[in-house]
Structure 1
Amino acid sequence: MPKTPPTTTPDRAAAAAAANGPAADGDLPEMPKPRVREFAANSIGGGLALLLGLIGLLAGAGLVVLGAGAGSDGSTGTAVGLIILGVLLFLGSIFAMAGLNMVAPGEARVVQLFGRYTGTIRTDGLRWVNPLTTRQKVSTRVRNHETAVLKVNDAYGNPVELAAVVVWKVEDTAQAVFEVDDFLEFVSTQTEAAVRHIAIEYPYDAYDEEALSLRGNAEEITEKLAVELSARVQAAGVRIIESRFTHLAYAPEIASAMLQRQQAGAVVAARRQIVDGAVGMVEAALSRITEQGIVELDEERKAAMVSNLMVVLCGDRSPQPVLNTGGLYQ
């Protein structure tokens, strides 16, 4: 039957990784070390840059107008100089204003100058950087990714269906842009790979009570999923906030057979509990009869009494008593 295990947070995942020790770390994939790390780009407040740019535009337009007026008065050299200066100032102001960037909360700009990474702008608002640079927008908001229902064979070879949801965010924008081709596709692919790997490592239901299983040890399994996911997406500068299984069930072709097995196990467990309780009640009854001296029973009568009490206490139907109207041994 489908089951939703509990949420796994980064603190619990880290604790699980510490508890598992080096042996567990050896099962994690080894990602290459990042070649670039995020750092703040050199930028200034965009308000001042915008004001200076507008002043430059107005000044350039004014110089062109003055030059045109001087040309009509016969001062050709002065007019040409003013017009050229005005055009250059106008074009320079437009070029300088190309360095303005509007950064919204939850966004960042990765800045490159001729292909070289020069920093990241995380301060929201209007910012100005070198106009020769290129700026790539990267969202640093919290996102979630839900996998499709995956069909995988568990550790016992039984086909099971799983789906998971992962909540994540970009922690290092430089790694997200430069270390992988597409960090969105990278997170999606690595999430599916981690879910499949976890599924084939553990059975859906463990025959051994001490062994881990997907259904019986949901908390431990989701912790292992979070640890593996964090190791897989760390190269892309991504931090896993939480992860959980949203769907966990046997595949349809074996679901009915496995359901019968689960029902049989539940019946056996219930019967075992009933028998344990009945034995305790019979033991208490014999002890009280003996202590209070209600009646003296030999071994044969004790055995008959135990048999009758066990039938009454463990039977599925109400017992039909048989009354003995004779003596004790008749």
Structure 2
Amino acid sequence: MEKLIRPVPGFLALFFALVLLASGIACFSLNDGQNGWLVVAGVVCLVASFFLLKGIMIIQPNQARVCTFFGRYIGSVKDNGLMWINPFYSTTKVSLRVVNLNGQVLKVNDKMGNPVEIACVIVWQVSDTYKATFDVADFKQYVTIQSEASVRHLAQTCPYDNMEDEKAEITLREGGEKVSELLESELNERLAPAGIVVKEARISHLAYAQEIAGAMLQRQQATAIVAARTKIVEGAVGMVELALDQLSKRHIVELDDERKATMVSNLMVVLCGERGAQPVLNTGSLYQ
């Protein structure tokens, strides 16, 4: 598990390192060849100065350092600024900044077996530096591979739309926030071993594969036409029913069943036709 450590501020260590460096140089400058202790003092000062300088490190905002001591994990430093740690520690830089991953377009079969093209955009961030450094070989590559696996699994568990699966509660095309929540939840589950947190995941590209795109487009157009015609017929039947009911209630004209059928037929043609009907005036009686 991740363990945070708070190193010593680096400005004090830098000050002592510069003082020791200057003292070592001064010892060598003052040596006239007869005072051996000045040489020893100079060497000690220079070694101590280099020792202090080696432990100084600069940590940028939203970055961390993972410290190890001869293969043993010591802790992670997340404080920003000039810091000083044990010079014998080995450090590894880990970025804590938010990263956008624009996934490549994948070709996969949806729940109904239709080939679709799908891609997603993922916003992720390192939350556990220990897991990201030691539990996986390369956490960036791990994110890329697991995100592709999650997108493929999502496409295989949800249909593209409701045309073939009318009872589907969630579809890729109309799922919206629910699809994003499913993808985000699965990504967080898959990336937890690497200490990665997914902040947002959304589908950026969704389309039928080229080999069936034309046929599916025709099917969608046909479905839209049938739906529109259904609405037109429902409206026309209501209008015909209203016309016959009003004629009967107001006793404007009495029609037998045959004339009613003729009137209904003419009204349906007029109301449901794609073009405007040409009027024909009846100058005789009703039955001529």
Deviations 1:13-59 (A, max 9, x none): xxxxxxxxxxxxxxxxxxxxxxx2x2322301111111111111112
Distance 1:308 1:142 in 2: 67
1:1-330 matches, within 5 Å, as 36=1, 38-66=2-30, 68-69=31-32, 71=33, 76=34, 79-206=35-162, 207-211=164-168, 212-330=170-288
TM-score by length of 1: 0.82
Partner SS for 2:40: helix
Q: Offset at 1:148?
A: 1.3
Counterparts of 2:108 and 2:117, CA distance in 1: 6
Residues in 2 aligned to 1:122 and 1:163: alpha-carbon distance in whole angstroms: 34
Q: How many residues align?
A: 286
TM-score (norm 2): 0.93
Matched residue type, 2:17: G
How far did residue 159 of structure 1 move?
1.3
How far residue 327 of structure 1 moved from its aligned partner, in angstroms, is 1.7
Deviation per CA, 1:115-147, whole angstroms, max 9, x where unpaired? 122121111111111111011111111111112
Alignment partners' CA distance in 2, 1:250 and 1:41: 52
1:327 partner SS: coil
* Cross-structure match for 1:26: none
| Change in 2 beyond 3 A, CA 1:213/1:144 | same
Separation in structure 2 between the aligned mates of residue 272 and residue 176 of structure 1, nearest angstrom: 58
Per-residue deviation at 1:270?
Answer: 0.8
Instruction: Map Cα deviations across residues 232-286 of structure 1 (whole Å, 9 max, x no partner).
Output: 1111111111111111111111111111111111111111111122222223323
- The farther-off stretch of 165-174 and 315-324 is 315-324
Give RMSD over aligned pairs.
1.6
With CA pairs under 8 Å and 6+ residues apart, which has the higher RCO, 1 or 2?
1
* Separation in structure 1 between the aligned mates of residue 62 and residue 28 of structure 2, nearest angstrom: 43
1:195 & 1:284 partners in 2: Cα distance? 53
| Secondary structure of 1:244 counterpart | strand
Equivalent residue number for residue 29 of structure 1: none
1:81 CA displacement: 1.8
Partner Cα separation in structure 1 for residue 68 and residue 58 of structure 2: 17
Gaps of 5+ in 1: 1-35
- AA of the residue aligned to 2:272: C
TM-aligned CA deviation for residue 181 of structure 1: 0.6
SS of 2:253 mapped into structure 1: coil
SS of the aligned residue for 1:63 comes to helix
> Unaligned regions of 5+ residues in structure 2, if any?
none
SS of alignment partner, residue 323 of structure 1: coil
SS in 2 for 1:214: coil
Question: Match of 2:217, as an amino acid?
Answer: L
- Asked if the contact 1:42–1:119 (Cα under 8 Å) also holds between the matched residues in 2, the reply is no
More displaced stretch, 276-285 vs 246-255: 276-285
Percent identical residues: 52
- What is the Cα deviation at residue 88 of structure 1? 1.3
